[in-house]
A = this chain, B = another copy of it.
Amino acid sequence: MGRWEPDARGRLAKAALELYSERGYEQTTVAEIARRAGLTERTFFRHYADKREVLFAGSGDLQELFVRAVADAPESAAPIDSLAVGLDAVSEVFADRREYARKRQAVIMANVELQERELIKLASMSAALADTLRRRGVAEPAASLTAEAGVAVFKVGFERWIVAAEERDMAHLMRDSLDELKAVTAGG
């Protein structure tokens, strides 16, 4: 037992998502989030760089998972197929978090600043994927373009998953989206 209640970070993240949902991102002050978590504003900023970041704590792990899956894809796999492997891996971890993802996504979609933050997380993912592809021997600009395409598929697939019926499986939606992209770039 520490001096304080455990998991300050988690409490802050929970309080933030609740308040952003209840009254909106802009109408919520950091002081309010901290108070609901039983902490002070200053402590909030020790755990999260800014008011937006509290919603994106898991993005580093997601990126790492995606990148690792692509890196570990069979050497024989074409660049676009190694990305498909990554999309599969990513889909797994979302399977049992659909409700949370929906709630979080609704908050983000309601505010432009949060969308900006999400976009740069995806851009970071794209950069990391491009780097991984380069290590797999893919030259530029193919590596960057493939990575961008992969993130585009993720974005579109994710949005479809969010609004889809409960039975629809994320991995399938990702595969469908990737096939659609292939079709459309083929001159479809």
Which of these, B81, B153, B156, B181, contacts A187 with CB under 8 Å?
B81
The number of chain A residues with a CB under 8 A from chain B is: 34
Which residues of chain B come closer than 8 Å to A51, judged between CB atoms? none
* Chain A interface, DSSP helix/strand/loop, else mixed: helix
Interface string of A173-188 (1 = CB under 8 A from B): 0001100111111111
Q: Quick check: A188 and B152 within 8 Å, CB to CB?
A: no
**In the complex where A115-B120, A115-B123, A116-B116 touch, is A145 in contact with B188 (Cβ < 8 A)?**
no
CA distance A177 to B177 in the complex (A): 21
CA distance A177 to B185 in the complex (A): 12
Complex copy number for this chain = 2
Does A155 reach chain B (CB closer than 8 Å)?
yes
The 22 sampled A-B contact pairs (Cβ below 8 Å) are: A80-B184, A80-B185, A80-B187, A115-B120, A115-B123, A116-B117, A119-B119, A119-B120, A119-B123, A142-B180, A142-B183, A142-B184, A142-B188, A144-B156, A145-B156, A145-B181, A146-B188, A149-B149, A149-B184, A149-B185, A182-B186, A185-B185
Q: Can you add 15 more A-B contacts, CB < 8 Å, to A142-B184, A146-B188, A185-B185?
A: A79-B188, A80-B184, A80-B185, A80-B187, A115-B120, A141-B160, A142-B180, A144-B156, A145-B181, A146-B185, A148-B152, A148-B155, A148-B156, A182-B186, A182-B187
